[in-house]
Chain A
């Protein structure tokens, strides 16, 4: 049986215990928001996704059974799936309405300096990766998951995860080198 560090908390949420719900928000919100922010690179969309994730947690906590997947694994999968929905919508909008001319508005990172600008540069580079490579890198490098945990979230083998990580890092290196050449 899988030991779940969130098991007791989920039981509390399922029982409608307000303290458990507050603890769940305090413990998980920063983590899910960071994940959605890096997957989408859009703070407003990331907030929507995280809000929806919590609605699903409130709704499904009662059906949660210890011993199957960990709660954190399940909740990460929910957040990521919601992010993919958003990315799909973006792609559909782009396909349906191709821009007639270049948007002349300043880029979101225009005017930023120092650490914030560097952070945006990394997020932009991450957004340049294939989605599954981005997902693998975010889970291992930012969500601090072990290889097995990340593979479980992605529902793939550890070998497949490592392949995605290596390809993602190579692609990032290329993006970085391209940036450095400019």
Chain B
């Protein structure tokens, strides 16, 4: 029903179109409007359009009224609440962010200290060997004296 493209439209397809979209050509799908116009110009087409327009006229009687001011007010109030909530959340996030940055800085500092600083002193002197402590020349001389 919907894939007529720009091809010609027979009366049955036109009937189907008008039964769905009514007699007002502005509601006819754009891709079929041109072909539909040609059928609508025939006597049989005009009769179908006339018939459909009766129901269109009935549907057009349904009126809408403007939204009540109170409703508009309530919705705008909900928008204000949302904005307030958003701002509060942003402030909270900024605060939490600063704390987070502080914590992250502390942790990073601690890590840097651990990596860069020299390791704790080894209790055994650099001169120690598996056979005991090797004394330096100066220490030996001092001991001899």
- Chain A proximity mask over B54-89: 1 for CB below 8 Å, otherwise 0: 010011011110111001101110111011001100
With a cutoff of 8 Å between Cβ atoms, the chain B residues found around residue A142 in the complex are 59, 62, 64
With a cutoff of 8 Å between Cβ atoms, the chain B residues found around residue A25 in the complex are 72, 75-76, 79
Number of interface residues of A (CB under 8 A): 46
Nearest to A26 among chain B residues (CB) is B72
* CA of A103 to CA of B27, assembled, Å: 41
Taking the complex as formed, is A37 at the interface, i.e. its CB lies under 8 A from any CB of chain B? yes
* CA of A177 to CA of B53, assembled, Å: 15
Name B residues whose Cβ lies closer than 8 Å to a Cβ of A: 1-2, 16, 19-22, 27, 29-30, 52, 55, 58-59, 61-64, 66-68, 71-72, 74-76, 78-80, 82-83, 86-87
Question: Would B59 and A141 count as touching, CB distance under 8 A?
Answer: yes
Taking the complex as formed, is A166 at the interface, i.e. its CB lies under 8 A from any CB of chain B? yes
Question: Would B71 and A115 count as touching, CB distance under 8 A?
Answer: no
User: Nearest Cβ distance between residue B59 and chain A, in whole angstroms?
Assistant: 5
Question: Would A58 and B71 count as touching, CB distance under 8 A?
Answer: no
Contact residues of A: prevailing secondary structure: helix
* CA of A115 to CA of B27, assembled, Å: 24
Question: Would B21 and A165 count as touching, CB distance under 8 A?
Answer: yes
Known: A25-B72, A165-B20. 12 other contacts (CB 8 A): A16-B87, A25-B79, A33-B64, A33-B71, A54-B75, A58-B79, A122-B62, A140-B27, A157-B2, A158-B29, A170-B19, A173-B55
Question: Would A47 and B68 count as touching, CB distance under 8 A?
Answer: yes
Question: Would A126 and B55 count as touching, CB distance under 8 A?
Answer: no
Taking the complex as formed, is A50 at the interface, i.e. its CB lies under 8 A from any CB of chain B? yes
- Chain B proximity mask over A15-57: 1 for CB below 8 Å, otherwise 0: 0101001100100011001100110000000010011001100
- Of the A-B pairs whose beta carbons lie under 8 Å apart in the complex, a sample of 29, sorted by A's number, is A16-B83, A16-B87, A21-B76, A22-B76, A25-B72, A25-B79, A29-B67, A30-B64, A33-B67, A38-B62, A47-B68, A50-B67, A51-B78, A54-B75, A59-B82, A116-B63, A119-B61, A119-B62, A121-B61, A122-B58, A122-B61, A140-B27, A146-B29, A146-B30, A147-B2, A159-B1, A163-B1, A169-B19, A176-B55
With a cutoff of 8 Å between Cβ atoms, the chain B residues found around residue A21 in the complex are 76, 79, 82-83
Question: Would B67 and A54 count as touching, CB distance under 8 A?
Answer: no
User: Nearest Cβ distance between residue A7 and chain B, in whole angstroms?
Assistant: 19
